[in-house]
């Protein structure tokens, strides 16, 4: 038995493997039996552990030589985040409180799609009735078919939920693109699914694709709405497209709009198209394709949501606030304060005599003739 010093590392050679095993256990060393070599992986810990060990016969060494030291070395690089980093990552995911979509169902309840999951609430009391466990929480669209089943679009495909059990009963991942942006049930009861790479028509019973419209002018089906004749209007990256729901053929295209991208759509009681754009709000005649009006107060503002209320007024959500307009004149009737965030993502008017507002920082509701909204605490940062 002897020692050999190389640089700052000491290598101890043993003739018998049994001695190697006993010594490594007592000294806290790592054994490499195939090579007959013992090295220290943590010198400081090894020295501390070795001190109370039983006295062993020490090798004869030359005392005149300086004692070999083991300087601390940097740990090897880690691929996974450290525990404190994991906590920060989990916290950052949990703190995305955006409410991206709202849906009133046939029972009078309100479905709330947030980036933390899907919930159903009683809009009269605000109490959460049920929650749905989903494989992907980045929900981008909601729709309810004529049987009452709820369809959920996210960035991984399409899911069907049974409201009575809150269970997933079907899913379709074979769309033109898995990134679902919009959903709509037509008058026949079929489900139109808008993605960032075209449209798909889905049978709600089987959850299967009936037809696709991949070569969609403007490519991305950002928003969907039905006109008075039951035809589908699609807001794209390059204007508006009118689609015949009976045969999935394109009937009309309205391009060269100011702002180009259409990201929010609504049909007025008179049958006019209201199109929200990144820098404008346009009123369009669907028969002629003519732009009738650019709403003055919304010029230069990013319009993210458009919904008509029962009283005939129109609610406009923007990246910087919420307004109620007179649709005939475009004048502002109300400008809502007290929102969790000024970035409005979704609107659901006239639900239990309230306007429900989804924002990038949670859910809020507004009573009639009250100028300030109230935050729903279960969907905000106020409650962890």
Question: What is the DSSP annotation of 42-82?
Answer: SHHHHHHHHTTSPP-PPPP--TTSPPP-----PPPP-SSPP
The Cα-based distances of 306 to 100, 143, 264, 275, 317 in angstroms read 14, 17, 6, 8, 6
Reported as a single tens digit per residue, the pLDDT across 143-200 is: 999 999 999 999 899 999 999 999 999 888 789 999 999 999 999 999 999 999 999 9
Residue count of the chain: 384
pLDDT at residue 65 above 60? no
Residue 7 φ/ψ region, left for φ over 0, alpha for ψ in the -120 to 50 degree band, beta for the rest: left
Give one DSSP letter per residue of 242-254, joined into a string. EEETTTTEEEEEE
pLDDT of residue 88: 45
Three-class secondary structure of residue 121 per DSSP: strand
Reported as a single tens digit per residue, the pLDDT across 233-278 is: 999 999 999 999 999 999 999 998 988 999 999 999 999 999 999 9
pLDDT of residue 370: 81
pLDDT of residue 321: 96
pLDDT at residue 208 above 80? yes
pLDDT of residue 14: 37
The set of residues, in sequence order, having a beta carbon less than 8 Å from that of 213 and lying 6+ positions away, is 198, 199, 200, 243, 248, 250
pLDDT at residue 12 above 80? no
For the chain, the distance separating the N- and C-terminal CA atoms, rounded to the nearest angstrom, is 63
Q: From 232, 256, 258, select the one nearest 245 (Cα to Cα).
A: 232
Looking at residue 337, what DSSP letter applies? B
Report residue 136's pLDDT band, with 50, 70 and 90 as the boundaries.
confident
Higher pLDDT among residues 345 and 137, named by residue: 345
Average pLDDT, the chain: 81
Report residue 214's pLDDT band, with 50, 70 and 90 as the boundaries.
confident
Euclidean distance between CA atoms 25 and 35, whole angstroms: 17
pLDDT of residue 73: 54
pLDDT of residue 5: 43
Higher pLDDT among residues 163 and 28, named by residue: 163
Q: From 196, 227, 223, select the one nearest 306 (Cα to Cα).
A: 223
pLDDT at residue 4 above 70? no
pLDDT of residue 77: 53
Reported as a single tens digit per residue, the pLDDT across 300-341 is: 999 999 999 999 999 999 999 999 999 999 999 999 999 999
pLDDT at residue 352 above 90? yes
Question: If you average pLDDT over residues 29-47, what whole number do you get?
Answer: 39
pLDDT at residue 57 above 60? no
Report residue 369's pLDDT band, with 50, 70 and 90 as the boundaries.
confident
């Amino acid at each position: 038995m002897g020692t050999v010093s190389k640089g700052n590392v000491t290598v101890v050679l043993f003739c018998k493997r049994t001695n190697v095993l006993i010594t490594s256990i007592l000294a806290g060393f790592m054994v490499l039996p195939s090579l007959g070599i013992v090295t220290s992986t943590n010198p400081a810990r090894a020295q501390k552990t070795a001190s109370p060990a039983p006295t062993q016969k020490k090798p004869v060494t030359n005392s005149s030589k300086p004692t070999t030291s083991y300087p601390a070395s940097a740990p090897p690089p880690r691929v996974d985040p450290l525990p404190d980093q994991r906590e920060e990552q989990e916290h950052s995911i949990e703190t995305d409180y955006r409410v991206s979509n709202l849906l009133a169902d046939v029972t009078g309840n309100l479905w709330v799609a947030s980036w933390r999951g899907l919930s159903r609430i009683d809009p009269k009391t605000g109490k959460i009735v049920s929650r749905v466990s989903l494989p992907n929480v980045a929900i981008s669209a909601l729709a309810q078919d004529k049987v009452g089943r709820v369809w959920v679009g996210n960035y991984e495909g399409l899911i069907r939920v049974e409201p009575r059990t809150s269970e997933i009963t079907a899913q379709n991942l074979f769309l033109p693109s898995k990134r679902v942006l919009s959903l709509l049930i037509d008058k026949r009861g079929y489900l139109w699914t808008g993605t960032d790479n075209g449209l798909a028509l889905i049978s709600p019973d089987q959850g299967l694709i009936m037809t696709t419209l991949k070569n969609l002018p403007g490519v991305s089906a950002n928003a969907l709405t039905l006109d008075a004749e039951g035809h589908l209007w699609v807001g794209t990256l390059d204007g508006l497209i009118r689609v015949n729901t009976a045969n999935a053929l394109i009937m009309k295209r309205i391009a060269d709009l100011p702002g180009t991208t259409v990201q929010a759509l609504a049909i007025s009681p008179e049958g006019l198209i209201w199109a929200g754009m990144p820098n404008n709000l346009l009123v369009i005649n669907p028969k002629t394709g003519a732009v009738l009006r650019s709403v003055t107060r919304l010029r230069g503002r990013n319009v993210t949501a458009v919904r008509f209320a029962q009283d005939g007024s129109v609610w406009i959500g923007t990246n910087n606030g919420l307004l109620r307009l007179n649709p005939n004149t475009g004048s502002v009737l109300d400008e809502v304060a007290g929102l969790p965030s000024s970035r409005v993502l979704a609107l659901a008017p006239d639900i239990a005599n309230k306007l429900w507002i989804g924002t990038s920082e949670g859910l809020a509701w507004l009573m009639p003739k009250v100028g300030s909204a109230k935050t729903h605490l279960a969907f905000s940062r106020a409650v962890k």
